[in-house]
Homo-oligomer: A and B are copies of this chain.
Amino acid sequence: MQNINGGVCAPKGFLANGIHCGIRKNKSKPDLALIFSCADANAAAVYTTNLAKAAPLVVTREHLKDGKARAIICNSGNANACTSNGMEVAAEMCRLVADQLDIDASDVVVASTGVIGQELPIEPIAAGLPSLVKGLGDRSIKAAEAIMTTDTKLKEIAYSFEIGSVECRIGGIAKGSGMIHPNMATMLAFLTTDCAISSEMLQKALSKDVDATFNMISVDGDTSTNDMVVILANGEAKNTPITTHGPEFDTFAQALNAVTLHLCRAIASDGEGATKLLTCEVSGADTEEAAKKVAKSVISSSLVKTAMFGADANWGRLICAVGYSGASADVSKVDISLCSAKGSVLVCKGGIGVGFPEDKAKEILLEEEVVIRIDLNSGTAHATAWGCDLTYDYVKINGSYRT
């Protein structure tokens, strides 16, 4: 497996583009993205579990019932959620894209991100579509830019891998960076692959992967109304199609994981106002579920997040978050270490504080990537979660998001 360039356009037969069509007032910020598969493609998706689901998700879910799709249209600047005409607008977006690309409207995936509760105007989208389609090409970066909201960094990745000595590729783009606390689903991420794989196996690979990747990120504990991960697989690599479990499926799952892992870390480290990426690695749990609960509890704690912002080795907040995680754990067995590129320091052994050099801990915590290692010393299950620190800028960004 090898890291390659090209994002969602790295796999054969995929084109992309992004433009400013006018949903956003700021003309320098692209707001409409399109990804197109030149050939028929199998598709799979996972969606937010939030009961308040945005209209585009409802439309997309309907369109993906047959496990097929050709195009993904996505706007930023408006979530198309909780408005009276949301369904019509989402359906119309699909129709307009289908017309331009000469495909069926039911083969279009539609997504939106931005403010909730304001009507999404169809006019700028209709007006912008011809130039968006005309510009389709090796432009994954343009598409990645157009789906950004408060993100400060573009999120794109691609890998090549081999299925039965045939080279395949998989790529993805994603956006964060607020309202990020996926629950059995996730924020916006669009993945493409030229690997031939059945819709059923594609869905299996995606659902399993998301549980250990996107569902393990938290920026602010808020599960969005618009979260969605979609993958299109057009088979243009011409490998023998993957239709069952086996080594080929495992290879595909591994490549998928390399892509989603990168995007997850990118989303967490670019969380609203974040100055650092926090990774919580939990080991020694009785069950994977317990390990996940502990990891996510730690990464979601406002007190842990502010302490990390202040580079303060206030480990009491870590064991506190272990204790209220909802996982059954014997806190008197818990070991905790803080690690980064500057080294590692044990701060808690058997649930009790151990003396540690504060200056060394400070040096470790001042790094841009900090790993919190928690060993529950009970079983063999483990899990990892990703998050970020809580800073003044988070408050600033979200105290005036609409204005």
Q: Which residues of A are in contact with B by a Cβ distance under 8 Å?
A: 49-53, 79, 81-84, 115-118, 178-179, 181, 183, 220-225, 300-303, 306-307, 309-310, 312, 314-317, 319-324, 328-329, 331, 348, 351-353, 390-392, 394-403
A312 with B403: CB separation less than 8 A = yes
Can you identify 6 A-B contacts, CB atoms within 8 angstroms?
A50-B324, A82-B316, A115-B314, A117-B352, A223-B320, A314-B402
Residue of B nearest to A119 (CB): B353
Known: A82-B353, A324-B183, A398-B307. A317 touches B403 (CB 8 A): no
Residue of B nearest to A220 (CB): B302
A302 with B116: CB separation less than 8 A = no
In the complex, A348→B83 CA distance in Å?
Answer: 10
A316 with B351: CB separation less than 8 A = no
In the complex, A397→B300 CA distance in Å?
Answer: 18
B329 with A51: CB separation less than 8 A = yes
- Other 13 A-B pairs with CB < 8 A, given A51-B324, A117-B352, A179-B317: A52-B323, A79-B316, A81-B316, A116-B316, A116-B319, A221-B221, A222-B324, A306-B399, A307-B398, A310-B403, A314-B401, A390-B398, A392-B392
Give min CB distance, A224 to chain B, whole Å.
7
Partner of A306, one of B51, B79, B117, B395: B395
Q: Which residues of B contact A223 (CB under 8 A)?
A: 320, 323-324
Give min CB distance, A175 to chain B, whole Å.
16
Q: Which residues of B contact A115 (CB under 8 A)?
A: 314, 316
Give min CB distance, A49 to chain B, whole Å.
7
A394 with B306: CB separation less than 8 A = yes
Give min CB distance, A311 to chain B, whole Å.
8
Partner of A401, one of B52, B300, B312: B312
Give min CB distance, A192 to chain B, whole Å.
29
Known: A52-B322, A319-B82, A323-B51. A395 touches B395 (CB 8 A): yes
In the complex, A402→B365 CA distance in Å?
Answer: 15
Partner of A225, one of B53, B320, B328, B400: B320
